[in-house]
A = this chain, B = another copy of it.
Amino acid sequence: MSTPIRIGIVGYGNLGRGVETALGLSPDMELVGVFTRRDPQGVDTVGAQAFPMSDLDRDRDDIDVLILCGGSRSDLPEQSPAQAARYSIVDSYDNHARIPEHFAAVDAAAKAGGTTAVISTGWDPGLFSLNRVYGEAIVPQGSTYTFWGRGLSQGHSDAVRRVPGVAAGVQYTLPSEPAIERVRAGENPELSTRERHTRECFVVLEEGADAETVRNEIVTMPDYFEPYDTTVHFITAEELARDHQGMPHGGFVIRSGTTSEGTKQVIEYRLALESNPEFTASVLVAYARAAARMNRAGDVGAKTVYDVAPGLLSPLSPEELRAGYL
């Protein structure tokens, strides 16, 4: 094996911790350290050394790729272009509507800096995006369906917790099984929002709060719950702590179409994840490997999953892949 690919992690929440764990499963990669805006002393890593973020300003030559683990709302729009000016990067920018703008900012910085920046990777955007394109390119006449879940939604959990009378709670998004069965059968149904997904809440009430009032407040909440069939379960704080600490997620991308009159073809891609942040982190690590290789080959600028040849994600050589995996 050649020289390891040297990685820096920027930001250390669930995703950053997931990247640290994932790097432990990739012997061709090496973690230089975690870079944080917090006091490095206070960052409780699995084992990596923590440095202040400002350390990156001095253009360290011991890093091949930075994996940016901040949020899409305020961290990445600023950090990705700033760091891409000096380092090859990978990010998981997931504000779908603003991706073209983010791409342009990162591309300009990366081209000026001679770096390679893979943006918006993870599983959606990321692996699901790939499957939407593979499916449509291969079966041009048909429909693509994306279903999410069963998964913990941070945004919807936050909305539940803001309801008066709620002490704590979580929300899961569930794909509708009857809808999936119709899509799998090649029916190409038109599905309303209510038909695609349902929502399930587990709520701990505040002392003296009225369950029916809280339930009603949740299920009628515009945008978040009103367009869906929502079930609310009331549980104890102990049950919440015991049964709802994981961050499962996943979903399906299904392409269903015909290649000739009446000849149905169905392609289905499914993820069932016990930890959303650990899985997303694992995707980022694989794309960091690709970013390092593309940069060595002189392929600079911003990239998305559509620009990255699949073999670049694997630690194996092209010869090994052809002999063992085709």
Contacts and interface: CB of A to CB of B under 8 A. Distances in A.
Given A134-B313, A139-B282, A282-B139, A259 B326 contact: no
Given A25-B141, A133-B311, A314-B136, A260 B286 contact: no
Interface-centre pick from A120, A130, A283, A326 (highest chain B CB count, 10 A): A326
Contact of A270 (B186, B268, B318): B268
Given A18-B259, A259-B282, A313-B134, A322 B99 contact: yes
Contacts of A272: 184, 186, 264-266, 268
Interface in A269-323: 269-275, 278-279, 281-283, 286, 289, 304-311, 313-315, 318-319, 321-323
A222 interface: no
Contacts of A138: 127, 279, 282-283, 286, 313
Interface string A114-143: 000000100001010110111011111100
A215 B47 CA distance: 63
Interface in A137-158: 137-141
Contact of A275 (B100, B103, B260, B270): B260
Given A100-B319, A267-B270, 18 more contacts: A127-B138, A129-B326, A133-B313, A134-B310, A138-B283, A184-B272, A259-B275, A259-B278, A259-B279, A260-B275, A264-B272, A265-B275, A266-B272, A268-B269, A304-B318, A306-B311, A306-B325, A308-B310
Interface of A: 18, 21-22, 25-26, 96, 99-100, 103, 120, 125, 127, 129-130, 132-134, 136-141, 184, 186, 259-260, 263-275, 278-279, 281-283, 286, 289, 304-311, 313-315, 318-319, 321-323, 325-326
